[in-house]
Amino acid sequence: MMKEAAGIHHVSVLVSDAHQAHSFYHQVLGMKLLIKTVNQENPAMYHLFYGDQEGRAGTEFTIFEMKDHVQHQHGTKGIDRVVFLVSKTATFDFWTQRFDRMGVRYQLLDYLGQEALFFEDPEGMRLGMVKANQEIKDSKPFLLGDIPREEAIIGIGQVHLRVVKREVTCQLLEEFLGFVDSFEQEFEGFPITILQVHNHFHQQVHLIEDRQSPRERLGVGGMHHVAFGLSSEVELEEMSSTLLEAGYYHTGKKDREFFQALYFREDNQIVFELSTPIHFGDILYSDQEQTGRLETLPLRLPTFMEKDRSSIESLYGSSYYLD
């Protein structure tokens, strides 16, 4: 059992076009591009990291580019929505006007007694925004020129999981990952269990019980996995043993250089990742580089992949710079 609850570390999603995704997540939502790298298991696949000013865990949203992959089909047994957190002083008037100008599909609604802005990215990714219930004193949002600080995305506030069996995932989150204060609500006819973690973002996981919909078919416009934070590599090793004892088979520790991680499927077959704190060091793109085009930014590789840089770059040919 973990000593301290770190909450949601990051979410990783699939897109078909990195250019289009960058235009949306950076230029529309105002998220900082931290690094452009590659999938360590498949170097022919770009991996883009977005987050706050310092790229901290809890603010990260990462994108895998999968050209010519099937379109995502929403359903149960999958990650249904990621909801970003904005300041309690934010105004959804700002965002709805911005979305109107930029052609973003959205819905302003009452979600479980809280005003929420649900919207989609260009490939139908289900996203949202909610206002923080209290001041987030250590927020460090990236400030895109035309988005005021009080409106900027702070981090990830909620992850919605659509499941068949709520109780087993609820038990996993409470016993192993430090989520507490579960309570139940209903939305659009589906019962929902809400769990919260008492970290600096007060993040929530919403378990939507859906036994009616077909199982999701993961594709571009879908979400591959949600990662939960651990305090150290020692804790990751302890959790590795704990999960095996509880019957959760996993990948074992993966060295991502920036952090250490392991992956497993929980009982509803959703991929969970457990991750140590992030240490990007000096490879983050500078604020000045944020004004440059995605295709001109240098490819960042972990040290252990540098020996293969030439062969990795050759995989892209003329598309190396995403042109």
Domain range summary for the chain, segments of one domain joined by +: 8-319
Rounded CA-CA distance 138/211 in Å is 40
Q: Please, what is the Cα angle at 110 between 105 and 116, to 5 degrees?
A: 50
Rounded CA-CA distance 131/83 in Å is 10
- The architecture CATH gives domain 8-319: Roll (3.10)
Buried b (16+ CB within 10 A) or exposed e, 91-110: ebeebbebbeeeebebebee
Rounded CA-CA distance 115/130 in Å is 7
- A 10 A CB-CB count for 280 gives 18
pLDDT digits (tens, 9 = 90+) for 237-294: 999 999 999 999 999 999 998 999 999 999 999 999 999 999 988 889 988 888 767 8
pLDDT digits (tens, 9 = 90+) for 69-126: 999 999 999 999 999 999 999 999 999 999 999 999 999 999 999 999 999 999 999 9
- Is 21 in contact with 121 (CB distance < 8 Å)? yes
pLDDT digits (tens, 9 = 90+) for 128-167: 999 998 888 889 999 988 999 999 999 999 999 999 999 9
Query: What's the confidence (pLDDT) of residue 199?
Result: 87
**Best CA proximity match to 246, nearest among 161, 166, 168, 162:** 168
Rounded CA-CA distance 205/192 in Å is 10
Task: For residue 243, give the amino acid letter.
Answer: L
Q: Which two tokens stand for residue 61?
A: 């949203």
Task: For residue 238, give the amino acid letter.
Answer: E
| DSSP conformational letter for 250 | B
Share of the chain above pLDDT 90, in %: 79
Tell me the three state secondary structure of residue 98. Answer: helix
Query: What's the confidence (pLDDT) of residue 314?
Result: 83
Whole-model pTM over 0.85: yes
Query: Over the chain, what is the mean pLDDT?
Result: 92
Tell me the three state secondary structure of residue 16. Answer: coil
Q: Please, what is the Cα angle at 183 between 157 and 117, to 5 degrees?
A: 35
